Amino acid sequence: MTSKMRTKLREKGSKNRCYFSGEFKKYGFKYSDRNKSYALPTILLMNIKDEEHQLLTDHLWFNVTKGFRSLGILQLGDQVSFNGRVKPYRKGYQGRRKGIQREIQIDYKIDRPTQVKLIVSVHNFERDQFLSENWKMCNQIYEMYKSDYQLRGIPLPYPEY
């Protein structure tokens, strides 16, 4: 089952790269392994639209690629554009622990964003830059949202460094 908004995203198809835009909301990180020993920085964009300004979905998470990183640290409300390809993915718990049953769904995302550009900046000052390595960037993101992570009981991703 696909959300109504993501149906519009799906309709773009996956054969061609398309233009998209979205509004920056926040950064985060995700773990790429079961042991939670390797974190990757992520970015949340809201109100994803196509080249005709048609709303395709209310939000999408992306890995912080070289293109997003090159913009510097974004502020709430900044708007970015990029090209990408729509891609289906499996959503839901896919582990094997007993007693946990979650419905697996096919959803849609935008894959491999390129030509990332800042199109509207809410602040007119020079942007701070992220630290160069992923682990340093994840710790930097943690510090940006420290109170939220602590409320949810999420520890610093790389405390030993």
Tens of pLDDT, residues 3-28 = 555 888 888 878 889 999 999 999 99
Tens of pLDDT, residues 60-97 = 999 999 999 999 999 999 999 999 999 988 887 666 67
Pair type for strands 18-31 and 105-120: unpaired
Alpha-helical segments (H) within the chain: 4-11, 66-69, 134-144, 146-151
